[in-house]
Structure 1
């Protein structure tokens, strides 16, 4: 009986997606806490039990208020990413992500509108914010302007929060702080969130009131009247009814504008805190329950989706450093298809580091083509149609007609005749004309210099203006795009790959019983060295662009690139320190070893054999 072949490893997404669902659900549950507190505050506090009992009206109000936070969570689930945004200019960022920007404004506006409707439905009639004003007994029902003003201010508050969301890139999941849990994170954010929310509500009230009374009051009144007259029998009036008493209305908005801002910030923080957690479940890597954990992890490292691949590299970095038993299985599986497990994982890590060199060479050398493009087969010969006539003989061809001379050529010919013929009458005036031409050329040169200096001043003024800042590029932006990738930085993935290579290399001295991993050490050291040399060489030769400020010419230290260099040199130092005694036996020349020593010791090493 033929033996059954082992089942293929499960896809990595089968473990990542459930893990993210658990994190998302936990973040949503935690967001119920401020919703519950707002629901208790909005309720009637005349009962010691039912005013706060979750299974009563307080629970219903909590559910309704939670509807206002759902658009925000749908937005975050759609647009979250781990790396910083990288682009050549702010306008480039906006244009490439214009649909994401539109979704941000729509989500916050929908959230504010739902929250306003919920409050007006619950407590509007009690505080004079009902949709209609019954007036005196002998008067017809009139439309109330106060809820229109309240909803308008909430929409302005949503636009301000959306602008902050975009400018500060709230969609990015920051790295989790080591040792921080829910208690530490909440206690850290309480005071800043409350103070920021109060200040933001006051600013929106001032700006929103000016905008409302200057241009939007009649328009909103007409739209609201057109909507409400289909539900209520309203008195016909074309002018707003007024906002008195105004002070109480302002206090109501300041209170609920602050609460809504706190709710948004709390929801964003809970989402970041939970989605930024390490890829673990019950203290073990998420792929530990697979039928082939290492095969599943390799599938994740090869994934075409950026977020899956980033999580797989993060899990590999954790396994190589914390989980000894799992790390030993990586070295022990040498009979896997294609090549050993350790080799496949190391190759994926090296690919992330080699991509840095490819991006730099692509940006600096227009003729550079990656290796995968060079290996593509050239197209085969094109099959032409059969020849149906005899080729044309040279004796059968007719001479081509002489092209007609242009006006410029006619002028040149005439000038040549005047100069060469001394008897020509125009020859007498030639010296005078020649002197005049020289004087005109000098004046033109002065005009060009003056225009150049004028353009330089205009260019400087445009670059410093608010409009020009949208299109301004800089050395920092250019370096981040080239070294770390675009549209989002790949720093987290590269750092995880470096950590995994460093841990696997150092731990192989103990965990690799067969000693097979040592064959990969030379390749790892060369790849790290080449990446460091290319980054340093690129930063030394990076020139400021036409829109850069003068200070950019003196600033070559880009923080993100410097952090990556620190990671690369730390990884190279660890691997070199563990194997420096055996490198000559691992087929590395003495010149290469000296070059690595210079990099590890901090000396400026020229781009030598390994950098070419």
Structure 2
């Protein structure tokens, strides 16, 4: 065991290691973003070049040249048109970069997601960029058409007809803008702007198994695998969107677009146009339909390809030339390709970053280093003179903080329930005290003394006499009807009317009481929540659990999984690679943290009451797949650590109770026996 070699001589002398550590600590550490930003820029450039190729294909499709060379030659009009078509794709790239985050958005309901989106400035900037993309594409598409397309602002008609404003280009431009708004909303709701690390890792593993000997680059294979999905989405979105856009134009935008865009522009070109009497009407309807289908499908296809290509290139492993991102790289001739004076220092700065992008990629890189790069992993144990703590101490504390945060969020989520229970108990005690005080006060009250009465004024005497006279008159009247043998002064019909009125009054009081109104409102709300329109307002059990376990507003699931896996791998590897024995004292904390997180998550999932809006909740809904995956990773890691360090449990400071709790958390009976 390498932990017992703390007093032995390492591969390098201790003085030399200390000197190297002091040099690395005194040197300026480059921020993690200095490595991540150039990497993303290179990937952005590669994605742009591949997208430009598809724009060139689109430019060939729009070409009207009859020459067999110029209709495709990239240095002619086809190349210029391809560059113009690339501008709408570039706008989509900008929108994706602006919204890019690590981890999906974590909210308790769909309505909360849209509220968060609506209050963010980048949401409206995304809408503007998509509108610019659709508008610019429309201009390129219309101006690339031939004269036979009838897309000019003026319809000159035949020789004997007066020129008039043409509505066809207005229709196409409005369709493109409506598609832009719908695509922006769909992009914001689809979550394509988030870097989903788990999906990237699964896809990479699958491609590595299927095509180990393939010479085709990985991005092209991924693009080929998603070609069918892109085609299906383009066709479905085009035809469904056309119906929606056409109805919206005819019912809402037609008159507005004609009065504010079509006729004023046409009047600038031809002064002798007739007076504006409304839209002139669509001419060449079949041709306009073909243009709408081809233009909208081409626009959606460019958006889809741009989004997929950007995702494929940018959402890749944090590696550079097959090495970790923060590592120093040299070619075969010892020429420096990437300089890094303190790789682990830069990585630690990334792990401690506040923004989700550098922090997510840093934990991703740490996981890759822990599992696939032995030489770099050993440096985590050898850098013991780093300020303020060693590399292992800082790495382990940052990773454990991700796991400890789960228990902290669960405790905060349980605080409102505990506070309500305490408040109810306090209120009940207060009411009991008030009741006892009131009873005691009634017992101590005596008859009022005459000396305590105030002196009555003349106004009080007159009012008292009037009230006494009214009371006397009422008593006489009442006695007239209640005298023995006297007839009832109220007729039977009137008596029935009075009784009916009294019953209706009582029913109305019950019906319009606050409790009854609240009951009716709750009934209506439950009926609404059961409809498809009420689905965005449901706070489902799964979303509430994920919001607490993984955090908000963005999920930290990938960071937690990478932190747990990296800690376990580093701890197990320390048995052979930790020459200074600094990992062994951290093992009890690691085991306690993993055990506590597993117990807290299981308890929280088992005891959390469903929200009243979760009208479709069933008991089997407590099995949330994402949370189960997290618990499974923690259990497997805890089992591996206990098996590796079980024989040193007593010397490390672990008690039999803690080992038993760890065994129960793992759920394996043989862990204790195998560990001992």
TM-score by length of 1: 0.82
* Equivalences for residues 6-25 of structure 1 within 5 A: 6-25=26-45
Partner residue of 2:83? Answer: 63
Q: How many residues align?
A: 536
* Residues in 2 aligned to 1:231 and 1:288: alpha-carbon distance in whole angstroms: 63
1:262 to 269, 284, 301: 301
Q: Which runs of 5+ in 2 are unaligned?
A: 1-21, 208-217, 329-339, 420-451, 455-474, 476-501, 672-676
Aligned 8 A contact 1:89 1:477 in 2: yes
Relative to total residues, which structure has the larger helix share, 1 or 2?
2
Partner residue of 1:178? Answer: 204
State the Cα deviation string for residues 498-538 of structure 1 (Å, max 9, x = none).
12101101111121123321111111111111111111111
Residue 35 of structure 1: CA displacement? 0.5
1:136 aligns with 2:158: yes
Residue 248 of structure 1: CA displacement? 1.7
2:344 to 289, 294, 304: 294
1:46 aligns with 2:46: no
More displaced 10-residue stretch of structure 1: 350-359 or 214-223: 214-223
Residue 587 of structure 1: CA displacement? 0.6
Residue 452 of structure 1: CA displacement? 7.1
* Residues in 2 aligned to 1:194 and 1:30: alpha-carbon distance in whole angstroms: 17
1:580 aligns with 2:600: no
Instruction: Give the RMSD, CA atoms, in angstroms.
Output: 2.9
1:323 aligns with 2:343: no
Partner residue of 2:319? Answer: 280
CA separation of 1:450 and 1:240: change in aligned 2, threshold 3 A = closer
More displaced 10-residue stretch of structure 1: 83-92 or 159-168: 159-168
* Residues in 1 aligned to 2:290 and 2:160: alpha-carbon distance in whole angstroms: 32
1:251 aligns with 2:273: no
* Equivalences for residues 323-362 of structure 1 within 5 A: 323-362=373-412
Partner residue of 2:184? Answer: 162
* Residues in 2 aligned to 1:344 and 1:531: alpha-carbon distance in whole angstroms: 20
Aligned 8 A contact 1:174 1:272 in 2: no
CA separation of 1:537 and 1:225: change in aligned 2, threshold 3 A = same
Aligned 8 A contact 1:89 1:473 in 2: yes
Query: In terms of Rg, which structure is larger?
Result: 2
Aligned 8 A contact 2:595 2:662 in 1: yes
Partner residue of 1:372? Answer: none
Partner residue of 1:77? Answer: 97
1:310 aligns with 2:360: yes
Partner residue of 1:407? Answer: none
1:502 aligns with 2:568: yes
Residue 241 of structure 1: CA displacement? 2.2
Partner residue of 1:192? Answer: 229
3-state SS of the aligned residue for 2:204?
A: coil
1:221 aligns with 2:258: yes
* Residues in 2 aligned to 1:281 and 1:296: alpha-carbon distance in whole angstroms: 15
* Residues in 1 aligned to 2:523 and 2:417: alpha-carbon distance in whole angstroms: 36
Aligned 8 A contact 1:197 1:258 in 2: yes
Residue 277 of structure 1: CA displacement? 0.6
* Equivalences for residues 222-237 of structure 1 within 5 A: 222-225=259-262, 227-229=264-266, 231-234=268-271, 235-236=273-274, 237=276
More displaced 10-residue stretch of structure 1: 120-129 or 42-51: 42-51
* Equivalences for residues 303-452 of structure 1 within 5 A: 303-366=353-416
Partner residue of 2:281? Answer: 242
Residue 368 of structure 1: CA displacement? 9.9
CA separation of 1:227 and 1:579: change in aligned 2, threshold 3 A = farther
1:549 aligns with 2:615: yes
CA separation of 1:150 and 1:596: change in aligned 2, threshold 3 A = same
Residue 47 of structure 1: CA displacement? 3.0
CA separation of 1:563 and 1:270: change in aligned 2, threshold 3 A = same
3-state SS of the aligned residue for 1:563?
A: helix
1:147 aligns with 2:147: no
Residue 184 of structure 1: CA displacement? 2.2
State the Cα deviation string for residues 335-357 of structure 1 (Å, max 9, x = none).
11222111111110001111111
* Equivalences for residues 84-103 of structure 1 within 5 A: 84-98=104-118, 99=120, 100-103=122-125
Q: Which runs of 5+ in 1 are unaligned?
A: 370-401, 405-424, 426-435, 606-612
CA separation of 1:195 and 1:471: change in aligned 2, threshold 3 A = closer
Residue 461 of structure 1: CA displacement? 0.8
* Residues in 2 aligned to 1:368 and 1:58: alpha-carbon distance in whole angstroms: 69
Residue 140 of structure 1: CA displacement? 5.0
Partner residue of 1:396? Answer: none
* Residues in 2 aligned to 1:352 and 1:328: alpha-carbon distance in whole angstroms: 23
* Equivalences for residues 534-573 of structure 1 within 5 A: 534-552=600-618, 555-573=621-639
1:597 aligns with 2:634: no
Aligned 8 A contact 2:510 2:516 in 1: no
State the Cα deviation string for residues 551-583 of structure 1 (Å, max 9, x = none).
245521122211211221122122222222222
CA separation of 1:129 and 1:446: change in aligned 2, threshold 3 A = closer
Aligned 8 A contact 1:544 1:553 in 2: no
Residue 45 of structure 1: CA displacement? 5.2
